[in-house]
Amino acid sequence: MNLSDYWQENKRFVTTVVGGVLVFFVAYWMLAGSYGAQARSASRTMSSLRADLRKPMFGAVDRDAAEAENQAL
């Protein structure tokens, strides 16, 4: 069976599959183009916030001031 015979017997199936693949990739590229930038921006914001949370909120000076205030009470 050569390609010409296969095409004649399965023309509708082949065109449907190829059309579906094309529609899938066009939709994927459209969605990636419109939502991909937003996702990257949100990812950068999240990593920035995580880095801020890793930093200590209070330093040694703050701790010493709190201890002195506690002793004064």
pLDDT at position 25 = 95
| CA 38 vs CA 29, 44, 50, 54, 60: distances in Å | 14, 10, 18, 25, 39
Instruction: Give the per-residue pLDDT at 1.
Output: 66
pLDDT per residue, tens digit, the chain (73 aa), is 688 888 899 999 999 999 999 999 999 998 888 787 888 888 999 999 999 999 888 888 989 999 999 999 8
The residues near 30 (Cβ < 8 Å, ≥ 6 apart) are: none
pLDDT score of 23: 97
H or E element in which residue 49 lies: helix 3-54
Phi then psi dihedrals of residue 58, to 5 deg: -125, 145
Domain boundaries of the chain, sorted by first residue: 3-72
| Beta carbons of 23 and 29 less than 8 angstroms apart | no
